[in-house]
Amino acid sequence: MKQIAQSLKEGRVISTSSEQVKVYDRSLHTHDTDHLLLIKVEGKKFIMAVGNGELFNSLAGDIQDEGYKLCPLTHENRIVLAKYFSHLSPKAFGRQSTTFGLGDRLGIAGPGHLSTLRGRKVSPILAQQSIRELALTGRTYLDVLDAASYAAFQEGFRDGYGADGDHLKEESDIQMSIDLGFTMLTLDCSEKIPSDIQDLNDIELDARYEQLSEEIRNGYEDRYLDQSFQIGEETVTFDRKEFMKCVLIYNEAIPFMSYIYDKYIKSVDREIDFEISIDETMTPTSPEAHFFVASELDRLQVNIFSMAPRFCGEFQKGIDYIGDLQQFEQELRIHAAIADHFGFKLSIHSGSDKFSVFPIVAKYTKGRFHVKTAGTNWLEAVRTISKENPSLYRRMHAYALEHFHEAKAYYHVTTNISKIKPLDQVTDEQLPDYMEEDNARQLIHITYGILLKAQDESGQSLFSKEFFDTLEKKEDAFEKSLKSHIGKHLDLLGV
Integer Cα distance of 143 and 134 in angstroms: 10
Q: Which of 104, 133, 275, 296 is catalytic?
A: 275
Is 317 annotated for ligand binding? Answer: yes
Integer Cα distance of 172 and 333 in angstroms: 37
106-109 contacts: CB < 8 A, separation 24 or more? 106/137, 106/377, 106/378, 106/381, 106/468, 106/471, 107/139, 107/143, 107/144, 107/147, 108/147, 108/381, 108/468, 108/471, 108/472, 108/475, 108/478, 109/377, 109/380, 109/381, 109/478, 109/482
Catalytic (active site) residue 166: yes
Integer Cα distance of 285 and 310 in angstroms: 5
**Cα end-to-end span (Å), the chain:** 40
Average per-residue pLDDT for the chain? 96
Maximal C-alpha separation, the chain: 83
Q: Which of 455, 295, 441 is nearest to 381 (CA)?
A: 441
Catalytic (active site) residue 275: yes
Low-confidence ranges of the chain (pLDDT < 50): none
Interacting residues of 201 by C-beta distance below 8 A, sequence separation 6+: none
Give 296-354 pLDDT, tens digit per residue: 999 999 999 999 999 999 999 899 999 999 999 999 999 999 999 999 999 999 999 99
Integer Cα distance of 221 and 285 in angstroms: 20
Whole-structure pTM value? 0.96
Q: Which of 370, 376, 409 is nearest to 486 (CA)?
A: 376
Q: Quick one: pLDDT at residue 409?
A: 86
CA distances 462 to 22, 453, 465, Å, are 29, 8, 8
Is 167 annotated for ligand binding? Answer: yes
Q: Which of 133, 164, 166, 188 is catalytic?
A: 166
Q: Quick one: pLDDT at residue 84?
A: 98
Q: Quick one: pLDDT at residue 19?
A: 74
473-478 contacts: CB < 8 A, separation 24 or more? 473/43, 473/388, 474/384, 474/388, 475/108, 475/111, 477/384, 477/387, 477/388, 478/108, 478/109, 478/112, 478/380, 478/381, 478/384
Q: Is 86 exposed, middle or buried (CB count within 10 Å of its CB: 0-12, 13-18, 19+)?
A: exposed
